[in-house]
Structure 1
Amino acid sequence: MRKQWSVFVVVVLVVLFVNPPTNGLQMQEWWETTNDGLLSYSNGKERVLRAGQRWWDFYLPTKVNKSTECHSSLTTMSEALSTSQLWPIRMMDSWGKSSDGYLHGNFYFVGFYDECLATHSPDSSIHGMPCRVILGQKPKNWTEAEGKTNWPRSPSILVPIDPGPFIPYHLYMTCIPDSCSSTQLKDSLNEVLESTKFQVIFTSCDTEKELSAGDISFIVVVSLLLMLVLAAAALDIYIENTGNTTLAQGRVKYLLPFSAYTNTRKLFQISLDRSPGTISCVHGIRVLSMTWVVLCHQYSMSLISNRMSVSKRVNTFLFQAIMNGYPSVDTFFLLSGFLLTLTTLKHLSKGHKFNIFLFYVHRLIRLMPPIAVVAWLFATVAHLFVTGPFIPYWELQRRGCEDLWWRDVLFINNFLTQPVSLKVRGGCLAQTWYLAVDMQLYLVAPVIILPLFFYKKWGQAFLYLLTLGCIITPAAITYVYDLPPSAQTGGNFRDFNEKLSTMPWCRAGPWIVGIWLGYIQYTHGDKKIKMQPWQVVTGWTLAATTGFLVVFGMWSYSTKPPKAEYDIITQVVYGGFSRPAWGAAVAWVIYACHYGYGGLVNSFLSHPGFQPLSRMTYTVYLVSLSMQEVIIDGIRIPHYFSHINKIIETCGALVISGIVAYLVVLTVEAPIIGLERILLRPDVKKQRPANPNPVVSESNQGQDNLSFNSEMQSKDPHTRTNVGFEGVTAL
C-alpha cells in the first residue's frame, strides 16, 4: 500500500508540472525546473520563463478556441514573455508550485494570491485572475456535482468521518487573464489530460466582488441602526446632565433603549455585591464554557500543511478535553433549566400570576432578532472580508445562510439538517442547534415547573420520572441504532448527530438536573446551609471524579487507532448517563459555591471581571463559529497545526467575535430588551443610577431599560434565564 501511494504521489507531481506524461520528462528534470523559479530575482526571470513554458498547458486554458478573447489575451501574454516583460512573468510567479512537505500532508499549492490580483498589462487591458484547480483520479461514484459540494479540505480533527473510497486529489492555484473563464480553464485542462487517468475535479476563478442587493440593504439598515444608537446616546447624555425627567418620560422613552451610552455602561458595569441572593459563580462558569466551545470549534476548522503529523498530536490523553468537548454545551443546558426554574418559582411565591402568553412571547422576541441579524450578516456582507485560495469553503456557508436562515430563526435546525441542494450546506448558523433544543425544552417547561409549586408531591414524582426517562431514552437509542457512546469513538457521525446528539429528548438530561437544582435552591432560599466537612469533601470528590470520567473516560476508545473496543455495557451506560452526570457535577459546583463551600473555586468563578464577558456570551455564541470560518477561509496559506497555534487562533477569534457581538448587542439585543420592557411590562418601574459607576446589586444594576438585568435576583419569571441579559438562554 505504501509503495502504491508513493507511485501515485510521483505521478500527480509529474502530471501537474510538466507536459503530459507522453513527453517523458523525468522527476529529476521537473525538480530542477521547479527550483529554477525559486532563485533570486537577479537571474530568476529567465528561469521563471523557462519553467512556465513547460507548465503552460496546466496553468492556462491553452486549448480554447482561437476566436475567443481569452485566446487573444493568451497570445498577448506569450508575446510579452518573448520580450521578457515583467507582468506575465509575475503571473507565472504567482502560480501554485510544489511546496515542501507534500508527503507530510501539504497538499495545497496555493501560490501567491495577491501577486496575481496586482498584476496587469501596461495598458491595463489584461488583469490577473486567480483560479483554483483540483486535479485527481476520479472514482466511479464521483460526480462533478459532488465535487462542487465536497470541496476537499483537511479532514476535521474532531470528527472521524468515514470518507468511503479513497479519493486522491491535488489542489493548486493558477493565474490566468481575466478575459478567460473557469469553464474554459476546466475544458482546456481536461483536453490536456485526456490521455491520462487524471481529470479535473473542480475549477473556480475569483472575479472582482460586487455589492449585491442584499449587501446594500444590510449596510443601509445597520447604518440606520448605528445612527439611531448614537442619536439616542446623545439624547440620553443630555437628559442625564440636565435632569429633564419629563422629557425622558415622554415619547422619547421609545428611543432611549437604543442609547449606546447607557447600554455600553451597563454592559461593562461590575457589581461587587455579595448578598445572599447573588449567584455570582455562574458568571465564571458561563465565560469558561463559552471559551471551551470556541476552542473546540477552532480545532475543528483545519486548513493545515502538516496533515500527516496531526494524528500523533491529537491522540494524547489531555487532548480528550478537545476531542470530547461536548459537555461544554451540557453546562448551558444545566444553567438554562436552573435559572428558569428558580426565577419562575420565586415569581410565583410572591403572589404573581403566571402569564403563559408573555412567557413564550418574551422569549421569542428576545431570541429571534439577534439570530436573524447575525444570519443576515453572514448571508451578505461577510463575504467581502473573505478572499484568497479557499473562498469556495465560505461560499457554501454563505449560500446556506441565504437559503436556510429560516431554519435557525424558527428553531428547527436540529431536525432539518439536510441541504436543499448540492451547492448549499444544511444550514446557516450551525451552532444554533443548541438554541433550537433549548427552545423546544422551554416550550414544555411550564408543564414541569408549575406542578413543583402548586402540587409539590405530584410535581416531584413527575420530575423523578422525567429524570429516569432522560437517562433511559438516550441509552435505548444508543443501543437500538448501535451508536457509539461518544461522537469520537467511531461509528457514523451523522447518525450519531441526527439521532442522538441534537435531539431534545436526548439532551434534556442536564436541563432536568438544572430544574432539580433550581427547585432545591428555591426551597432552601438564601438561608445558610450547614454541611459537615466530610459531606463537602465527598461532594467535591464525586463532582470532580464524575466530570473527569465524562470528559476523559472514552480516551481508550477514541484514539486512532483505538486502544480498546468498547463493549455494549460501556456503550449504553456512557450514552445514557454521561450528560446528566456532567450536569450533576456542575450543579454541585454551583450549589457549593453559592452556599459558601466553594473556597478558591468560588473566588475564581465569582471574580467580578467575568461579569461583562458573561453578559455577551449569547451574542458571542451566535457570531463566533461563522466568524471563525471567515478567518480560516480567508487565509492565504495553510496553517501549520500545533496546539500553540490553535490557542493563538482561538484568542484572535474571541477578540474579533467579541467586537462583532458588542455591535449586535448595541444595535439589536439591548434595544429590543428595552422596548419589550416598555411595551409588554409597563408596570416595571425605571431606575436610573445616581452616578455613572454605581455599586448595585444584581437584582437592580441601576439600569434604565433593564437590558442587562441579571436573573440572579430576578423579580420576574418572564425575565431572561441568563446571567447578564434577561430573557434569552443560559448563554
Structure 2
Amino acid sequence: MIAVLVLLLSSAFCTGYSRFFRENAPVWKTNTISPQCQNSLDLFVMNLNATNEDNTWALRMLDASSKIPVGLLYYNFGELGNFKECVEIESATDHVAGKYCLGNIEVNSTAIDDQSVFIKNHMFMKILLTKLAGGVKTKGNPTLAICIPDNCTEGDAKQLMSNPQLGIDVQSVMCQTAGNVYPELTTEAVAGLSVLSVIIVVVMISTIFDLFYTKKSATVHHQLLLAFSLYTNGKKVFETSRRPSNLSCLDGIKVISMFWIIILHTYSVYSSGPVSNAIDIVNFTDSLISMVFINGDLACDTFLLVGGLLVTYVFFKRKNDVDMSVASIFKHYIHRYIRLTPALAGVVLVSATLLRYLGSGPKWPYIVNSFEGFCKTYWWSAILYIQNELNVDKMCVGHSWYLNIDMQLYIFSPLIFWLLRNRVRTGIVILIFTILLSMAVSFIRAFDNELSGVKSTYYQKSSSDAYMNTYYLKTETRAAPWLIGVILGYFLTKKELMEAKLSKKIVIAMWLLSATVLLTCVLGGHSTLRRPEYFKLQNSFYITLVRPAFVLAVAWIIWACATNRGGLVNALLSLPIFQFLNKFIYSMYLVHVTALYMIVFAYKTPIYFNVFNLAYWFWGIFMCSFGLSIIWVLIFESPMIAIEKILLG
C-alpha cells in the first residue's frame, strides 16, 4: 500500500484516486492477503465504481487513509490519516465497517538504487526514500495510516502498506475499529469502578459525618471515619503555616525539581509523538538550551538526596535513643509502605482497568498495551517496589522506578541509623565507601556497555534499553545521591556542626562553586559528548560523576539555607507557595506521566514543535497534573496518613 501512496504523487492529480485503485486491484490478489480481506477489497473496488451517493464507504476509507503530505523533506513524518472518519464508517448494505491501521515505516537502503523505472524517473521520491533509509535522526519512524474493511487483519494491513520492491517495510501495525474506540466494560473495568466507587462513597459518608454529626467522640471508630473527610483533609491540605523551620528550603527545591521532571517528560513525549516538523526537533536537540530539558532527570537525584536527608533527619531529631527492637523496625517499614503505597495503588488500579476508556486516538493502543497490559500482569511487583529488578522492560507505572530505588534503600536505614548512633565514624566511612562503590559500579556498567552520558541524544552508541536496564533504573548505580542525603541529614541534626563558623569568603566561594557545578552538570556534556564519534572513557566518567556532583552542589544549598547562609535563595525557596505545592508533589509525580501520555496519544492530527509550544504544553500538563493530584491527595494520601497516625501513633 505504501507503493500506492508513492504512485499517488504522480497519478492522483491526473487520473484521480478512484480510478487508480480500480486499475490496481490485482495487487491485492496475493496469497499473503487473507481470503476474507480479499473479498472485502473486491467490494471496496466495486463500491468505488458505484454511482450511489448514499453508499460511498469505499471513498470514505480512501479519504481517511494517509496521503503524501506536504513537507516530507522537512521531516513531516506524523501523518495519521483521519482516525475518526475511518472508525465511524459502516455500511449496512455491504456489511462492511472501517478499520483504522497505523504502522511505522522502515526503509531498506540496499533496495533503493535498484528500483523500477518509476522511482528512477521521479527524483523526489528517490530523495525521500534515501532520507528515510539514511538514518533519519528522529525519535521514532515515520507513520502511515490506512483505512481498510474490518474483515482485514493487522497482518493484511502490514502487507497492504509494505512494498519489498521499494525496500519499504511497515512494522508495529496497530488496528482499531469502533469496538476498540468505544469498548464495552470488561470484568476488570467493573471491578476497578467498584473499588473506586466504594472509596468515593466512604469519602462522602465521612464528609457528611464530619459536617453534620455534632456528637463526635475520640473513639478509634469515629477517628477512622473522619480520616476520609474531604472537609477536614481539605483544611489541612490547603492551609499554609508560618512555623519557623531551618529546612523550609526543601519545599522550593522539591517543587522546582517536580517542575523540571514535568518539563523533561513533556519534551520527551511530545518530541516522540506525531510531529509535522521533526527536523526542528533534531536541530533543537543539537542546541545548548536543549540540555536543560534533556538533563531534567537530574531532578530525580535531587529527590533521592532529599529522601535520604529527611528519613535520617526526622529519625535523629525525634529520638534520643535509637530503638532497634524488631517491633520498632517493623513499624518503621510499615510507616513508609503506608505513606507511599495507597496513591501508587490508585494509579496502578486506573492504569490496569480503566485507562482504555479515558480516550481514543491513532496511537491509543500504545496506552492500552503498555500501561494497561503491564499493570494487569505486574501490578503486584509495582506495589512491592521490585520492578526495577524483576520486570524492568515491562514496568507498571514506569516512572515508579524512583520509588523502587527509594524503598529498597530505605530498607537499610535502620542499620545505617544504628551505625550513626553507636559507631558514627565507622558509619560515615562505610557510607562514603558505599557511595564510591556505587560510582565504581556505574563506571564499569557504562564502560562495558558503551553507554552514552547524555541519555536523550541522537548520537547514542548503545541502545536506550541498555542505558536504562544496566544503569538508569538500578539501585546499585543510583544509590549515591540517597546516601549523600543520609550524611547531610545526620549532620543537620548536630548542633556543633550547624553552629560552626565559616568566613564570608568561604561561604561566597562555596556558593560560586555550587553554581558552577550545577551549570556544568546540566550543560557540560553538550559539546563534549553530543558527537557522532563515541568517546568511551569520557562518557563513562561523565555517567559516574555527574549525579554525585550535582547532588553535592544541591546539598550545599540545603546546608547553607539551614544554617542561615542562604540569603535571598533561602527566602525564595521558602515562599509559602512552595510549601503549599509541596503537599501535592508525590501525587503529582505519580499522575503526571499518565496524564501526559493520555493527552499526547489522543491527538488525531500532527502537532508543530517549537519552544513556545513546548512551554504551552508544559503548563497544560502541569495544571492537569495538579488538578489530578488534589484528588489523589484527598482520597488516597491524606486518609491513609490519618489512619496510620491513629493506628500506629
Scaled by the length of structure 2, what TM-score is found?
0.84
Q: In the TM superposition, what are the counterparts of 1:227-238 in structure 2 within 5 Å?
A: 227-238=201-212
| Contact in 2 for aligned 1:96/1:109 (Cα 8 Å) | yes
The separation in 2 between residues aligned to 1:347 and 1:203, in whole angstroms, is 56
Describe the shift of the 1:535–1:114 C-alpha distance in structure 2 as closer, same or farther (beyond 3 A): same
Q: Measure the CA separation in 2 of the matches of 1:261 and 1:106.
A: 51
Q: Indicate the SS of the match to 1:637.
A: coil
> SS of 2:227's equivalent?
helix
Q: CA deviation at 1:463?
A: 3.2
| Percent identity between the two aligned chains | 27
Structure 2 CA distance for aligned equivalents of residues 115 and 605 of structure 1: 51
AA at the equivalent of 2:361:
G
Which secondary structure does the structure 2 equivalent of 1:130 belong to?
A: strand
The one-letter amino acid paired with 1:405 is W
Q: Which residue of structure 2 aligns with residue 41 of structure 1? A: none
1:340 is the counterpart of 2:311: yes
Question: Which of 628, 634, 655 is equivalent to 2:602?
Answer: 634
1:385 to 349, 358, 362: 358
Q: Is 1:368 the equivalent of 2:357?
A: no
C-alpha distance after superposition, 1:108-164 (max 9, x if no partner) = 432222223444448796544433355655799xxxxxxxxxxxxxxxxxxxxx989
Which residue is 2:621 aligned to? Answer: 653
User: 1:168 offset after TM fit, Å?
Assistant: 11
Contact 2:11 2:20 in 1 (8 A): no
Q: Which residue of 2 aligns with 1:30?
A: 12
Confirm whether residue 356 of structure 1 aligns to residue 325 of structure 2: no
* Alignment check: 8 A CA contact 1:185 1:203 kept: no
Q: How does 1:323-722 map to 2 (within 5 A)?
A: 323-349=294-320, 355-397=328-370, 398-417=372-391, 419=393, 426-479=394-447, 481-487=449-455, 488=457, 490-492=460-462, 493-524=464-495, 530-561=501-532, 566=535, 568=537, 570-681=538-649
Could you say which residue in structure 1 is the equivalent of 2:81?
111
CA distance in 2, matches of 1:195, 1:580: 52
Corresponding residue for 2:241? 271
Q: Which residue of 1 aligns with 2:52?
A: 83
Report SS of the residue matched to 2:460.
coil
Alpha-carbon deviation of 1:462?
A: 3.0
Cα deviation, residue 332, structure 1: 0.6
Partners of 2:547 and 2:158 in 1: how far apart?
A: 53
Distance between the aligned counterparts of 1:260 and 1:393, measured in 2?
Answer: 35
SS at the partner of 1:258? coil
**Correspondence 1:210 to 2:184:** yes
Decide whether aligned partners of structure 1 residues 305 and 348 sit closer, same or farther in structure 2, where only a CA change above 3 A counts: same
Contact kept, 8 Å, 1:131 with 1:182, in 2: the verdict is: no
Cα distance in 1 for residues equivalent to 2:397 and 2:415: 30
Q: Report the Cα offset of residue 639 of structure 1.
A: 1.6
Is 2:7 the partner of 1:15?
A: no
**Stretch moving more, 573-582 or 626-635:** 573-582
Residues 137 and 167 in structure 1, CA contact (< 8 A), matched pair in contact too: no
Match of 2:223 among 249, 253, 269: 253
| Secondary structure, aligned partner of 1:109 | coil
Using the alignment, how far apart are the partners of 1:205 and 1:48 within structure 2? 24
Aligned to 2:259: 291
The range that moved more, 277-286 or 521-530, is 521-530
Deviation at 1:367, TM superposition (A): 2.0
1:455 corresponds to which letter in structure 2?
R
User: CA, structure 1 residues 203+537, in 2 after alignment: closer, same or farther (shift >3 Å)?
Assistant: closer
Gaps of 5+ in 1: 1-11, 19-24, 34-46, 141-161, 420-425, 682-731
Computed over aligned residues only, the root mean square deviation of the Cα atoms, in angstroms, reads 3.6
Higher helix share: 2
What is the distance in 2 between the residues matched to 1:511 and 1:223?
Answer: 38
1:261–1:350 distance in 2 versus 1, CA, 3 Å: farther
* Counterpart check, 1:226 vs 2:197: no
C-alpha distance in structure 2 between counterparts of 1:609 and 1:585, whole Å:
24
**Counterparts of 1:401 and 1:540, CA distance in 2:** 45
Structure-2 residue corresponding to 1:92: 62
What letter is aligned with 1:298? Answer: T
Contact 2:451 2:540 in 1 (8 A): no
The alpha-carbon distance between structure 1 residues 137 and 467, as it changes in their structure 2 partners (threshold 3 A), is closer
Looking at structure 2, the residues matched to 657 and 52 of structure 1 have their Cα atoms a distance apart, in angstroms, of 47
Using the alignment, how far apart are the partners of 1:572 and 1:92 within structure 2? 52
Corresponding residue for residue 710 of structure 1: none
Residue number in structure 2 paired with 1:688: none
Other structure's SS at 1:174 match: strand
Give the secondary-structure state (helix, strand or coil) at the position aligned to 1:428.
coil
- Report the 3-state secondary structure (helix = DSSP H, G, I; strand = E; otherwise coil) of the residue aligned with 2:599: helix
